[in-house]
Homo-oligomer: A and B are copies of this chain.
Amino acid sequence: MQRKTEQRAVLKKVLKEADRPLSVQEIFEGAQSELPKIGLATVYRNIKALVEHEWLTVVDLPGESSRYEVAGKEHHHHFHCKTCDRVFEIEGCVGGSIADLTPKGFSLEFHEIILYGRCDECAESA
């Protein structure tokens, strides 16, 4: 990544201002509101470049297409609200006890935990 373009600046801004992982569509729509002519291919290309440069981290959840969050955060997991479909970061980890689940002979390298339910806003309006 070398040149500074308006498109890339807008994409980074959208991602930085979100406090949660965003989908390609969310990023695209956020960018479009500031730069209506931006193309979807540009969004995909820049996401890929930003991931390669470790400015972005990929957040993959089961059965969902990838979401992206600004890199550099500590080890954490995610909460997926099944009502509004947004994903939130959660603090803390039960990594220690998880190691006990590893089957005999298997070697554990890392793990993923995803919580599902309702976020505070959706729980309240229910």
Contacts and interface: CB of A to CB of B under 8 A. Distances in A.
Number of copies: 2
Interface of A: 58, 60-63, 66, 77, 79, 81-82, 88, 90-94, 97-98, 100-120, 123-124
Given A62-B60, A82-B109, A123-B105, A94 B97 contact: yes
6 contacts: A62-B62, A91-B103, A102-B117, A107-B118, A109-B118, A112-B116
A113 B115 contact: no
Nearest to A111: B115
A16 to B, nearest CB: 22
* Closest CB pairs A-B (n = 4): A105-B120, A60-B62, A60-B63, A109-B117
